[in-house]
């Protein structure tokens, strides 16, 4: 479900966000995350780093009511918690962040409404955003 915010220019991404219902999942992914063939892919990657995970996340968060964020535990250990820092700056601090194994994370992707592929080339910079409601 969309919330008020700056207009999102990418029509396919805007449509997916507008169509999400409560509890549905949208994945924001780095360039290397395997995307299941049956899941809708919104590919924004231009080159390594363009656009970055944090830029895409900020744009999505400005439009999507988020109930929960899910990340892989490897992003905390290998990335030294940098992914959590990105969420702290981009989303409501009251939104809980759940941590699962990378294998479990990839399983969650299979049931996502869409995966948004960024140009991020930092390993494990992926997040499942669980849609909330704006009322």
Q: How many domains does the chain have?
A: 1
Give me the CATH number covering residue 63: 3.40.1650.10
- Which residues form the domain of 106? 22-131
Tell me, yes or no, whether 16 lies in a domain.
Answer: no
Tell me, yes or no, whether 12 lies in a domain.
Answer: no
Inform me whether the pLDDT recorded for 3 exceeds 70: no
pTM value is 0.90
134: confidence class by pLDDT, cuts 50, 70, 90: confident
90: confidence class by pLDDT, cuts 50, 70, 90: low
Tell me, yes or no, whether 92 lies in a domain.
Answer: yes
Inform me whether the pLDDT recorded for 38 exceeds 80: yes
Q: 110-133: per-residue pLDDT in tens?
A: 999 999 999 999 999 999 999 999
Tell me, yes or no, whether 53 lies in a domain.
Answer: yes
Residues sharing a CB contact under 8 Å with residue 51, sequence separation 6 or more, in sequence order:
44, 45, 118, 119
Write down the pLDDT at residue 79: 60
Tell me, yes or no, whether 32 lies in a domain.
Answer: yes
Q: Mean pLDDT over all residues of the chain?
A: 89
Name the residue with higher pLDDT: 27 or 7.
27
Inform me whether the pLDDT recorded for 1 exceeds 70: no
Q: 39-59: per-residue pLDDT in tens?
A: 999 999 999 999 999 999 989
CB 63 within 8 A of CB 14: yes
Q: What percent of the chain has pLDDT over 70?
A: 86
Tell me, yes or no, whether 76 lies in a domain.
Answer: yes
Tell me, yes or no, whether 30 lies in a domain.
Answer: yes
Write down the pLDDT at residue 2: 54
Q: Active-site positions?
A: 22
Tell me, yes or no, whether 117 lies in a domain.
Answer: yes
């Amino acid at each position: 479900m969309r919330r008020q915010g700056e207009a999102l220019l990418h029509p396919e991404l805007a449509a997916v966000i507008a169509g999400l219902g409560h509890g549905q999942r949208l994945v924001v992914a780095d360039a290397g995350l395997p995307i299941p063939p049956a899941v809708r892919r919104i590919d924004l990657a231009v080159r390594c780093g363009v656009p970055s995970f944090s830029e895409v996340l900020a744009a999505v968060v400005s439009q999507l009511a988020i109930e929960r964020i899910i990340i892989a535990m490897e992003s905390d250990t290998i990335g030294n918690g940098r992914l959590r820092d990105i969420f702290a700056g981009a989303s409501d601090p009251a939104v809980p962040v759940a941590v699962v194994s990378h294998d479990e994370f990839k399983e969650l992707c299979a049931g996502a409404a869409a995966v948004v592929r960024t140009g991020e080339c930092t390993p494990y910079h992926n997040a499942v955003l669980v849609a909330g409601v704006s009322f």
